[in-house]
Amino acid sequence: MQATAIAQPNIALIKYWGKRDVDRNLPAVGSISITLSELYTQVTVELSGDLASDELIVNGEESQSMLPRISRCLDSLIGDTRARARVTSHSNFPIAAGLASSASAFAATTVAAAGAANLSYDTEALARLAGLASGSAARSFYGGIVELKNTGDTISLTSLSERDVWPLQVVVAITETAPKATGSTAAMEISRETSPFYSSWIERQDQDLDVARAAILRRDFRGLAAVAEHNCLKMHSVMWASRPPMMYWNSATMRCMQTVRRLQAEGCNVFFTIDAGPQVKAVCLPADTERVSEALVATPGVRKIMTSVLGPAARLVLQT
């Protein structure tokens, strides 16, 4: 009754920000993301009648804060009369810092839990269950480039490009490794309740999704770059105009954006995107990755870079 799964985090190019239904964790907007290969979370779920309660170990340390979300995720998948679980998670990148660790963690947990309980769900059904726990986790069930559609009562997922079809690369510039002060779930609700820009953000999302989808299908890098940066900055404008304001950037975040702007002016195929944290993800074409990496590593305030190609879908790696 034990299984191990690996999932990669995904980075949204057209962002999910805001919920239509908090109880069912349904997003208010669709989103498009890329799954990264070099970053991963590995999760083992052990179901045992000998355990008195669920246990969660994250990177070698017991975690109480995430345990209720993990327990709810297991209940929705296996049922609330299930055996208790020991869940052990390891990520090779900073967690809760705007690098989509909840996406990879909940995708891997869902796959491992289904494996441990010997349940067979199809990919979309599993993705929906993971999405109940973390909206972005549903996208890590697909490799390459994926679209999550907000279809009324539920979500649906479509692969827009397999990972080898349009081999985009990503240079992640890590400017801070400490966990963020406000988690995405709470921050989205603050935006919905207080930001004067929230309704126009929601209204215009379908337009951005259409433009990005079309650019991806014709592999138009500049077209995708323009709409992705626009969508990212709109999402941050919603956050900045919230009360209290949510400002996830630091000075190095801004400097990285300026580095990307300079590279673009020099003819580099690169664009930035930033999530609920201070890290900058520079998406580029393979021919420009080295130049982008060198420029970002030399940007003051950057602590580390991680370079990645597009990654595979969440998967089971061991079942006993």
- Applying CB under 6 A, the residues found at the interface with ligand 2P0 are 12, 15-17, 25, 31, 100, 102-103, 134-137, 184-185, 188, 275-276
Identity of the residue, 17 or 201, whose beta carbon is nearer to ligand 2P0 in the bound complex: 17
- Give CA–CA dist 24/178, Å, rounded: 29
68 is written with which tokens? Answer: 């209720």
- Give CA–CA dist 261/214, Å, rounded: 24
Identity of the residue, 201 or 221, whose beta carbon is nearer to ligand 2P0 in the bound complex: 201
- Give CA–CA dist 74/63, Å, rounded: 16
Identity of the residue, 27 or 46, whose beta carbon is nearer to ligand 2P0 in the bound complex: 27
Q: What is the DSSP letter of 164?
A: T
Identity of the residue, 7 or 47, whose beta carbon is nearer to ligand 2P0 in the bound complex: 7
Can you spell out the DSSP letters for 84-95? EEEEEEEESS-S
- Cβ 98 to ligand 2P0 shortest distance, Å: 7
- Cβ 94 to ligand 2P0 shortest distance, Å: 14
| Residues facing 84 on adjacent strands | 48
Residue 69 phi, psi dihedral angles, 5° rounding: -70, -40
- Cβ 31 to ligand 2P0 shortest distance, Å: 5
- Give CA–CA dist 145/207, Å, rounded: 18
Total H helices, total E strands in the chain: 8, 16
- Cβ 14 to ligand 2P0 shortest distance, Å: 8
- Cβ 262 to ligand 2P0 shortest distance, Å: 25
Reply yes or no: is the peptide bond before residue 244 cis, omega within 30 of 0. yes
- Cβ 287 to ligand 2P0 shortest distance, Å: 27
- Give CA–CA dist 211/30, Å, rounded: 13
Identity of the residue, 1 or 206, whose beta carbon is nearer to ligand 2P0 in the bound complex: 206
Identity of the residue, 136 or 269, whose beta carbon is nearer to ligand 2P0 in the bound complex: 136
| Cβ-contact 6, 89 below 8 angstroms | no
- Cβ 248 to ligand 2P0 shortest distance, Å: 9
Identity of the residue, 14 or 270, whose beta carbon is nearer to ligand 2P0 in the bound complex: 14
- Give CA–CA dist 113/75, Å, rounded: 10
